[in-house]
Structures are given as structure tokens and as C-alpha cells.
Structure 1
Amino acid sequence: MEGTTNTTKRRLPAGRKAELAAYVAQSGQVTVVDLASHFGVSIDTVRRDLDQLDREGIVVRTHGGAVSAMSVPGRDRGLDVRLQMQIAEKEKIAGIAADLIEDGSVVMLNAGTTTLAVARALRNHRNLTIATNNLRIPAEISPQVFRDLFIFGGAVRTITQATTGPVTLASSSHSPDVDIRCDYALIAVGAVDASGYSTSNLGDATMMSEMIQRADRTAILADSTKLDRRLFAQVASLEKADYLITDAAPAPDLAAALAEAGVTVLTP
């Protein structure tokens, strides 16, 4: 019975889609409970509807509800909005990622709210070397966790509170850049499909791609709302990662592509 329900509800009816989008736009911010009551459908149905509308860029999914996409300035979602999105899913992903890391490892983390969750999940680790472009991580991670913490330079994107551009640590003005290597790159991306991993900003894609190239092992972090999507800037093809950590199993076609690329999918 449950399988039949999921199949029939997979595509949001056009009439309800328009009404739901209009209601969110008018209200500005809504809860799942409010929408279920207003439209006379189940909470699970509302959640699926909102996930679909979020993938289509019509609303911005938040913890327990949604806000109108029109209320979020610019194409990129601000960090304050994204911090309220898929909170439980990100915590689960972060826990799995942290379990991959051994004490004493060298780890690269990119920008994003999922990697902020990873920083918190590493609280019981010791003697790590961490390199990141995420300007929020120094405030999120305990000093007991790391031996050294490096922040990559570059142009600062205030909307993501991160630096962007190529990964370099110049030792001096007269010598070449330091060759940087790490045991693990934990990379949060905006989208995953059969073509690979992608994000919405070219500078971010460059930073993420170089982190992957400098890592012995790479784990891509993406909650299930980002699967079977493709964004503007390609980060890497599927086979460049060793793991995909997500909160739910990918759809069969994407799962097959990941398996063919040699990517191990890790879920709670």
C-alpha cells in the first residue's frame, strides 16, 4: 500500500502545485502542519510536495516548512536560510562522515552548512589537521579537535561566509605554491546526477575540484533533495569520489551510475 502511495504522489498535480506555490508566496513562510490543514492532505504528502517545489526553485525548504523563493535575494540562498534546511538530514550525514575520519588525519572541508555539521560531529576526534575555505568552521569546532587549522585565502563570498577560488598556500613571493595533500576531502555539493557533482558558483566549483584532486579519498556530502539534479558549475565526474554520503538511497538509475563509477553510497 505504501509503495502505491509513493508512486502516485511522486509528481505533484499541476493544480495543487500552483495553489501551494501561491499560498507560500502570499504567506511568505509556512509550516508543514499549516499546509496539510489548508489543503486537506497528509503531512507526508506536503513534505513530498515541498521537496519537489524546492527542487524546481519555487520555494525554499526549511526545517518544518518552507519560505517563498522570492523572499530570498539573489540566486544563491544565504547561509541563514540554508542553516534551517534539512537539519536532521545534515546531522545524519555529518555523523557518517565523521566516522570515516581517524584521529591524526589531514582533512579538507569546503564551505556549506553540511560541513559545519561535520565540524561539530568531529568533537570527539583529536590531533586532526583541518584545511578549509569555510570561515564559520573556526567558531564551530573545538580547539581540542585539531592540531592545526588552516583557512584558504581567496575572494570572500559573504552570502556563503567562505573564500572562493583555487586552493593555494604560497610560502613566499619568490617560491612556488606549497603542494598540499590530505587524507580526506569532505565536499558538500549542490547537486548530484549521472554526469557528476555540481554547484551553482564557478569559483566554488574550482575550490571543490582542487580539494578533490589533492585528497587520497573523497566523500561527497549531499542530502537526498540534491540527488538527480544538475547545477551550473561542474565540480567533478562521479568516479572522482570514493563515497557519496546521503540520508536516503538514490533512485535506481543514479544508484547504478554511482556503482559503475565505483562510488560507495553511505546512508544512515
Structure 2
Amino acid sequence: MLARQRQEVILDEVRRTGAVQVGDLVLRLGVSDMTIRRDLDALARRGLVEKVYGGATSVIGRSTDEPGFEAKSVRQLAEKEAIAALAAQQVQPGTAIGLSAGTTTWTMARHLDDVADLTAVTNSVRVADALQRRGRTDRTVVLTGGVRTPSDALVGPVAVQALRSLHLDMVFLGVHGMAPRAGFTTPNLNEGETNRALAEAAGRLVVVADSSKWSTVGISTIVDFDEVDLLISDQGLPAEARQLLGEHLDLELADPEGAEEESVRRGTVEGL
């Protein structure tokens, strides 16, 4: 098992139980005590766990906590890959789309290599790089300006001004959290404003968010559930979340194991 895979397992266990012990992880993962301690050191440097004697505990989340891009990139890898692949199927040749900053939208961008005659607008240098990696001559990538956040989004008045003049066929929005009453949120006020401008440019708005985002609340609401046309998540989404979300928007659940996705259309349940 690679270091990133081990660290994802450790993060999942910390989120599930609130704490882990080195000895338990040694037995579970079949590696040395020193290897586990190095993994915990790496996670602690990224602000994902708090090291304690003999193990690590969860970091108590606040509505303004904003993990960096590298920190988020080790989380829910299989889920993000499945969500990204499913989201990419929504994109048709010859369309104009928007992609917000984030590790899920960045993963999605790498699934768009074969889409012809695509125009893409993003406020993320990493997403822009992923869109241009194959050097297609029939592709236009527009990168907004702005101030860079810890999660590598370009935000603020420059980005907002650029986005408010656009009209896009579809926008794919990554989020920090999703919860009843709060809707889809971010921990960065400037990013909230920028993402709202991006959402307002959309003919069809699609949120891409793995199930770990459920019940997480950032300080700034980007959009409410009713403002979103489609949410693409994964099958780890709790039943109560599926029911609630299905009353407001269309929902597709990707399967990281490769099985067919499940769909919830507003007012009806398909495949559940």
C-alpha cells in the first residue's frame, strides 16, 4: 500500500472514531511503527490530524478552517475519481463550461481530454493546467485573475468581475461542505463570493462533492440546495441526506468500486 493510500485509511479512521493509536494502525495496515509515525507526521503537517502521545486525534473543525490543496488531495481519492468520471459524462463537445477550484474539479478536468471544441473557464491554476495538459488546438481555457487562497482558488473582485460578464452552458462547482439550512458552503468569504458569481453564469449548475462533505458547514453559503440542478456524490452519502437532497435537486451517486451509479430525481428514487 502506498503512503497516500495509508494516509487516506488513517484519515477515514480519525473521522469515524475521532482518534487513532499507532499500535492499532500497525496491526491493521501491516507496516512498522516508524512508518505509521511518519504517516501521522505528514498528516499533522497538513493540518489534518493533531498528534498526541501514542497516536493522533481529529482536528476540531471551524467554519473558517480552510485546508490547503495538498491536504485535500489525499482525501476520498476513490470517491473523487468516480465522481469526476461521472461528471465528465455531462460535458458535450462544443460547449462552454465553468469549473471552480478544488481537488474534485481538478480530477474532473483530467477526464475531459477527449471532449472536442471545448471552452472552459476556471478560477484555478491547477484546473487550467489539467485542462491544457494534452495541448488540444480546439480548446480554449480562460483563467480568471484574483488573489490565491490556501486551497489554490483565485478569488476576489478581479475574479468576480470577470465571471459576471460570462454565460456558460454548465458550471461544475466543488464545495467545502453541504448541510441542511446552510446549503453548499466554503470556509473562505472571498471564495464564496467568487463561486456565487460563477454559479450565476451557469445555464445548468452541477455540484461535485464526495459524501464526507455532508454535515460540514463553512462560514459562507455559495448556493442553496434549490439553486442546484444536479449533485454528483458517492454511495457513502447517508440515506437521510439522499432523501433530503432529492427533494431539492437531482442526485447521482457514483460507485468507487465501479458498479453502476444510483440516481435520485426530485420526488422519485431510482435504483435505491
* Fold conserved between structures, TM > 0.5: yes
Q: TM-score, normalised by structure 1?
A: 0.70
Deviations 1:188-219 (A, max 9, x none): 10111122101111111111111111101111
Select the residue among 184, 206, 213 that pairs with 1:219. Answer: 206
The separation in 2 between residues aligned to 1:234 and 1:83, in whole angstroms, is 23
> Are the aligned partners of 1:126 and 1:146 in contact in 2 as well (CA < 8 Å)?
yes
* Contiguous gaps of at least 5 residues in structure 1: 1-8, 25-29, 39-56, 61-65, 170-176
> Are the aligned partners of 1:152 and 1:168 in contact in 2 as well (CA < 8 Å)?
no
Deviations 1:223-255 (A, max 9, x none): 111113222111111011111111215323322
Report the counterpart of residue 229 of structure 1 in structure 2.
216
Report the counterpart of residue 28 of structure 2 in structure 1.
36
The separation in 2 between residues aligned to 1:180 and 1:81, in whole angstroms, is 31
The separation in 2 between residues aligned to 1:163 and 1:85, in whole angstroms, is 22
Check 1:145–1:116 CA distance in 2 against 1; reply closer, same or farther (3 A cut): farther
> Are the aligned partners of 1:238 and 1:263 in contact in 2 as well (CA < 8 Å)?
no
Check if 1:154 corresponds to 2:154.
Answer: no
Identity %: 27
Check 1:178–1:89 CA distance in 2 against 1; reply closer, same or farther (3 A cut): closer
Map 1:101-116 → 2, pairs under 5 A: 101-116=91-106
**The residue matched to 1:103 in structure 2 has which SS?**
coil
Aligned partner letter, 2:169: D
Report the counterpart of residue 160 of structure 2 in structure 1.
167
Check if 1:144 corresponds to 2:136.
Answer: yes
User: Which piece of structure 1 moves more, 237-246 or 133-142?
Assistant: 133-142
The separation in 2 between residues aligned to 1:112 and 1:246, in whole angstroms, is 15
**The residue matched to 2:234 in structure 1 has which SS?**
coil
Check 1:37–1:211 CA distance in 2 against 1; reply closer, same or farther (3 A cut): closer
Aligned partner letter, 2:237: P
> Are the aligned partners of 1:103 and 1:127 in contact in 2 as well (CA < 8 Å)?
yes
Aligned partner letter, 1:120: R
> Are the aligned partners of 1:249 and 1:267 in contact in 2 as well (CA < 8 Å)?
no
> Are the aligned partners of 2:48 and 2:58 in contact in 1 as well (CA < 8 Å)?
yes
The separation in 2 between residues aligned to 1:226 and 1:146, in whole angstroms, is 35
Report the counterpart of residue 49 of structure 1 in structure 2.
none
Aligned partner letter, 1:86: Q
> Are the aligned partners of 2:68 and 2:152 in contact in 1 as well (CA < 8 Å)?
no
Count how many residue pairs are aligned between Structure 1 and Structure 2. Answer: 213
Check 1:12–1:218 CA distance in 2 against 1; reply closer, same or farther (3 A cut): closer
The separation in 1 between residues aligned to 2:27 and 2:192, in whole angstroms, is 36
The separation in 2 between residues aligned to 1:118 and 1:245, in whole angstroms, is 12
Check if 1:125 corresponds to 2:115.
Answer: yes
* Contiguous gaps of at least 5 residues in structure 2: 1-12, 31-46, 51-55, 256-272
The separation in 1 between residues aligned to 2:137 and 2:232, in whole angstroms, is 22
The separation in 1 between residues aligned to 2:145 and 2:155, in whole angstroms, is 8
Report the counterpart of residue 48 of structure 1 in structure 2.
none
Aligned partner letter, 2:227: K
Deviations 1:5-42 (A, max 9, x none): xxxx9x967xxx45x2xx47xxxxx9x9536369xxxx
Q: TM-score, normalised by structure 2?
A: 0.69
Deviations 1:86-132 (A, max 9, x none): 11111111101100000111110011111110110111111110000
Q: Report the Cα offset of residue 221 of structure 1.
A: 0.8
Instruction: Give the RMSD, CA atoms, in angstroms.
Output: 3.1
The separation in 2 between residues aligned to 1:67 and 1:116, in whole angstroms, is 29
Deviations 1:42-100 (A, max 9, x none): xxxxxxxxxxxxxxx9739xxxxx99759xxx932221222222111111111011000
> Are the aligned partners of 1:123 and 1:145 in contact in 2 as well (CA < 8 Å)?
no
Map 1:31-70 → 2, pairs under 5 A: 34=26, 36=28, 59=49, 69=59
Aligned partner letter, 1:244: L
The separation in 2 between residues aligned to 1:187 and 1:163, in whole angstroms, is 14
**The residue matched to 2:206 in structure 1 has which SS?**
strand
> Are the aligned partners of 2:208 and 2:232 in contact in 1 as well (CA < 8 Å)?
yes
